[in-house]
């Protein structure tokens, strides 16, 4: 029995959909985006439907997201960078919470309680760092960049030996100790003298190295 026009049409549509699956999906997504942009009610219905679907298909959604990210690494980088620029405070809060376990509410409360001043030096902070105990993870207070960096040195296991070496170094170059210009001049003159003594006697200009701070 010969096939009717309706059967031929269905067969053609099946073949076309199979051959142009991605193109048709993108067309449907674009149409859905236009409908959501045009109507707040459609937008809200789409959100409700998406949340409902996600609640029933969390594993499937996670696998699809992972697969899409692996196939679109450049797009992911672009989206992430653009979002970070537009949401700097959220990015910092997320990073802070990840590193120090400080929730955003605790950070804001502590900043208000300290009146924007560093907990160590007491100076106003343009940018506050959330300090925590690295051994226990216990949140402490907010510090300015300089005190936060200095505290990292103080908490070193070899801090006593390191501090003694620092003080020795400072004392070595303090007051009557040689300065950089004198060291350069002394080294240069010694080099010239050794070169001149090794050269045969002849009429040649004398080399001279003088310090910049001399007239």
The hierarchical CATH code for the domain 85-155 is: 3.40.1800.10
The parts of the chain modelled with pLDDT lower than 50 are 1, 181-215
Packed helices 21-38 and 5-19: angle between N→C axes, nearest 10 degrees:
90
Q: What is the pLDDT of residue 156?
A: 80
pLDDT digits (tens, 9 = 90+) for 3-32: 568 888 888 888 888 888 888 888 988 888
Q: What is the pLDDT of residue 100?
A: 61
Structure token digits, residue 87? 């949401």
Q: How far is CA 57 from the centre of its chain?
A: 33
For the chain, the domains span 8-65, 85-155
Q: What is the pLDDT of residue 98?
A: 65
Q: What is the pLDDT of residue 124?
A: 93
Q: What is the pLDDT of residue 122?
A: 93
Report the run of H or E that residue 48 belongs to, with start and end: helix 40-56
pLDDT digits (tens, 9 = 90+) for 30-63: 888 888 888 888 889 888 998 999 999 999 999 9
CA-based nearest residue to 144, from 162, 120, 178, 163: 120
Structure token digits, residue 132? 């925590």
């Amino acid at each position: 029995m010969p096939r009717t026009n309706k059967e031929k049409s269905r067969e053609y549509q099946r073949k076309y959909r199979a051959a142009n699956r991605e193109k048709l999906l993108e067309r449907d997504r674009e149409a859905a985006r236009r409908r959501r942009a045009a109507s707040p009610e459609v937008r809200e219905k789409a959100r409700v439907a998406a949340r409902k679907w996600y609640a029933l298909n969390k594993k499937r959604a996670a696998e699809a997201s992972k697969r899409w990210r692996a196939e679109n690494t450049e797009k992911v980088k672009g989206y992430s960078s653009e979002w970070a620029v537009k949401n700097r405070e959220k990015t910092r809060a997320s990073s802070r919470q990840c590193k120090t376990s400080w929730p955003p509410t605790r950070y804001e409360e502590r900043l208000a309680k300290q009146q924007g001043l560093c907990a160590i030096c007491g100076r106003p902070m343009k940018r506050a760092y959330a300090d925590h105990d690295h051994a226990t993870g216990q949140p402490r207070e907010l510090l300015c960049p300089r005190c936060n960096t200095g505290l990292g040195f103080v908490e070193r296991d070899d801090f006593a030996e390191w501090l003694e070496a620092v003080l020795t170094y400072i004392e070595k170059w303090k007051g009557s100790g040689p300065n950089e210009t004198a060291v350069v001049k002394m080294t240069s003159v010694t080099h010239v003298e050794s070169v001149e003594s090794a050269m045969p006697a002849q009429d040649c200009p004398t080399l001279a190295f003088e310090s910049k701070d001399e007239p």
